[in-house]
Amino acid sequence: MSSLGGIFDVIIGMSFVYLLLSMVCSGVNELLAWARGLRSRSLADGIGTLLHDPEVQGLGAKVYDHPLIKGLTPGLPSYLPSSTFVLALLDTLRRENDAQQPIDTLPGIKAALAALPEGSNVRRQLELFADETVTEAAAYRHRLETWFDDSMERVSGVYKRRAQRISMWIGVLLALGAGVDSGVLADALLHEGALREATVAAATDYVQRAARQAPEAPSEKGATAAIAKSVSQLDALALPIGLPYLYERSRAEGAPSSKAQYWLFRLLGIVFTGLAVALGSPFWFDVLSRLINLRISGDPPLTSKERQRTKGG
């Protein structure tokens, strides 16, 4: 194989390791989110903002107490369909106002809105959606559903940014705990042909298997299984990773200054690994898939010097 092909395979191997570590990082992040109720709290904060009820103790609490929402999950829900939210909101307002008209009619909806305090922000907000262009209850509910979905997109963006920050710290701590130095790893893959070939083969098999599997919904059980599977795959690769391995390498260093320099480079390599892992498993899976497809379609072209050597031989 050409030297360029070898470097290409090193990149595939590095990407695969980053992907597996990212899967562990994502699983740990997901477990933390479930344990701390971050998703459900983010949703509650978003609904509280939406209904001008920041503490979720007024209208927001009454909507959460509606049977349509309470029946979704024993605790606070992490996800809420827009149609469910809108029906729960309008029915809550109808019950608060003791309105006799059903909420599947526009007059019934307007009667339900009368339950809100006169001049309140949430009432003005909901009445704005019932302007003269709305002639049917379905059109009004559609506006509310779109309003809810748009608001939840912003909530989702805030949650993702928070999760990204957490992933960065988890990634660095994971790389440190596992002793994964990108520099040492890249050097081993470059110079050890058997290790490189085994890693590339495992990466190719992983991508091909993943392409045939349907994605799973986030869950605590799924996160635990993903962590265990990724750790098992890393162990099977027999990579030069781990703090004991790095310590054994350090014993070859002579002077204390050389040891200090050695550990400085190891620390930089570990931090680099952590930051790479924090990019997330979707990123690395996409990168790895593209690299594998390129490799399958053909070996990387020879450089001009390699072509000259080939002709000379």
Q: With contact defined as beta carbons under 8 Å apart, do 233 and 43 qualify?
A: no
Q: With contact defined as beta carbons under 8 Å apart, do 89 and 20 qualify?
A: no
Q: Could you count the other beta carbons within 10 Å of the beta carbon of residue 114?
A: 14
Q: Could you count the other beta carbons within 10 Å of the beta carbon of residue 88?
A: 20
Q: Is the pLDDT of residue 211 over 90?
A: no
pLDDT for 103 equals 76
What is the rounded distance in angstroms from the CA atom of residue 216 to the CA atom of residue 106?
40
HSE-up of residue 63 (Cα within 13 Å, Cβ side):
23
**Which single residue is written with the structure tokens 């002793």?**
179
**Tens digit of each residue's pLDDT (9 = 90 or more) over 123-170:** 898 888 887 788 888 899 999 999 999 999 988 888 888 888 888 899
Q: Is the pLDDT of residue 1 over 50?
A: no
Tell me the residue type at 255: A
H-state helical runs in 114-219:
121-128, 137-178, 182-191, 193-212
Return the domain boundaries, the chain: 3-36+158-304, 38-156
Q: How far is CA 237 from CA 76, 83, 200, 213, 263, in A?
A: 41, 48, 10, 22, 24
Nearest C-alpha neighbor of 62 from the set 82, 78, 85, 42: 85
pLDDT for 133 equals 80
**Tens digit of each residue's pLDDT (9 = 90 or more) over 254-298:** 656 678 888 899 999 999 999 999 998 899 999 999 999 888 875
Model confidence, pTM: 0.69
Q: Is the pLDDT of residue 311 over 80?
A: no
**Tens digit of each residue's pLDDT (9 = 90 or more) over 14-50:** 999 999 999 999 888 888 877 787 888 888 889 998 8
What is the rounded distance in angstroms from the CA atom of residue 17 to the CA atom of residue 40?
32
Give me the mean pLDDT over the 97-101 stretch.
68
Give me the mean pLDDT over the 58-86 stretch.
88
Pair of tokens at residue 56: 């979720």
More confident residue, 4 or 183: 183
Q: What is the residue-averaged pLDDT of the chain?
A: 84
Q: With contact defined as beta carbons under 8 Å apart, do 58 and 52 qualify?
A: no
pLDDT for 258 equals 79
Pair of tokens at residue 278: 């924090």
**Residues 63, 64, 67: CA angle, nearest 5 degrees:** 85
Tell me the residue type at 92: T
Band the pLDDT of 5: cuts 50, 70, 90. low
Band the pLDDT of 245: cuts 50, 70, 90. confident
Nearest C-alpha neighbor of 33 from the set 140, 159, 148: 159
Whole-number percent of the chain with pLDDT over 70: 87
Q: How far is CA 198 from CA 193, 234, 293, 296, in A?
A: 9, 12, 17, 16
Q: Is the pLDDT of residue 300 over 80?
A: no
Band the pLDDT of 181: cuts 50, 70, 90. very high
Nearest C-alpha neighbor of 175 from the set 239, 218, 253, 261: 239
Pair of tokens at residue 63: 């909507």
